[in-house]
Amino acid sequence: MNADIILGSRVPSVNLGYLSDGAVATLSTDALFANVRSVLIGIPGAFTPVCSQQHVPDFVANADRLSASGFAQLICIAPNDPFVLEAWRCQMDPHHKIRFLSDGNLDFARALGLSEAHKDLFLGSRSKRYMLVVHDRTIQRVRVETSILTYSCTCAEDVLIAA
């Protein structure tokens, strides 16, 4: 777990972006996480190999099981702009099982202490790969991968086991 994230604390209050009828819209995390149980995955980037081949497909494939286990919303937060994120969502989740939100300014990742630079991969600053379980804006569970290139502790099955 990241030292900056305290279980039982509130999620950071920031705005996230998404496309609505082709225009950028914002949504506050206060409104997003109010009065619901959510599981969210933070990823380093749309179209990156681990995100596209493992992480997001796993959550899309298990979306119905996650919803049946009591999660009102499934969210993917990425450091990409809303336009790129929407194009990727169309490929990864054409049936809209997961809500994709842009943290293009890294406000959410930085507030959680989950941003890092990846100059070696020419990615610049990105989000770490993580998973949060949130109930009514309160963080109940945190998992953070040791590297953005690994996918071991942020799997849908890890959420379902503890659900």
**Tens digit of pLDDT for each residue in 73-125?**
999 999 999 999 999 999 999 999 999 999 999 999 999 999 887 777 766 68
Which residues neighbour 60 within 8 Å (Cβ) at sequence distance 6 or greater? 92, 93, 97, 98
Which member of 51, 76, 153, 155 is catalytic?
51
pLDDT at position 6, please? Answer: 78
- Per the structure, the complete domain to which residue 149 belongs is given by 15-162
Answer yes or no: is 62 within a domain. yes
Answer yes or no: is 1 within a domain. no
Counting the structural domains of the chain, the total is: 1
Q: Whole-model pTM?
A: 0.92
The enclosing domain of 117 has a CATH number of: 3.40.30.10
Answer yes or no: is 76 within a domain. yes
pLDDT at position 156, please? Answer: 94
Answer yes or no: is 129 within a domain. yes
Asked if 155 is an active-site residue, the reply is no
